[in-house]
Amino acid sequence: MPRINSYSFGRIVIDGKTYMSDVIIFSDRVKADWWRKEGHELNSEDITEIIEEKPDLLIVGKGAYGLMKIKEETKRILEENNIKLIAKKTSEACKIFNEKSGKEKVVAALHLTC
């Protein structure tokens, strides 16, 4: 399971590798350069790959200041697929990811700026 070593505005280090754009962390890989349909909203189209992975928990990092919004439709789709959602500022989301990973099947979708 990947581990987040550090996070700061616009920068995250995962297993010693630095990323400068939004990421999705799966149990076996990191998807770099994650782009959403609308930059500061999480739409259902943005999480198709996550739904296919069938995690128990999705942790969303809503940005350094928590500005990214999660659409109600997206929340409903997660609920329909029995995927719990935790959405926090990215710094807190990183800590939660490190605490939860290995204990349950977790995916993190992290917005690194705003």
Tell me the residue range of the domain where 99 lies.
4-111
Structural domains counted in the chain = 1
For residue 44, the 8-state DSSP code is: G
Q: Pseudo-torsion of CA 86, 90, 93, 94, nearest 10°?
A: 150
**Which pLDDT belongs to residue 37?**
83
- CA-to-CA distance for 9 and 15, rounded, in angstroms? 18
CATH of residue 100: 3.40.1230.10
Residue 18 predicted with pLDDT over 80: yes
pLDDT band at 102 (very low <50, low <70, confident <90, very high): confident
pLDDT band at 75 (very low <50, low <70, confident <90, very high): very high
Over residues 38-46, the mean pLDDT reads 90
Q: Pseudo-torsion of CA 35, 40, 44, 49, nearest 10°?
A: 30
In contact, 65 and 114? CB cutoff 8 Å: yes
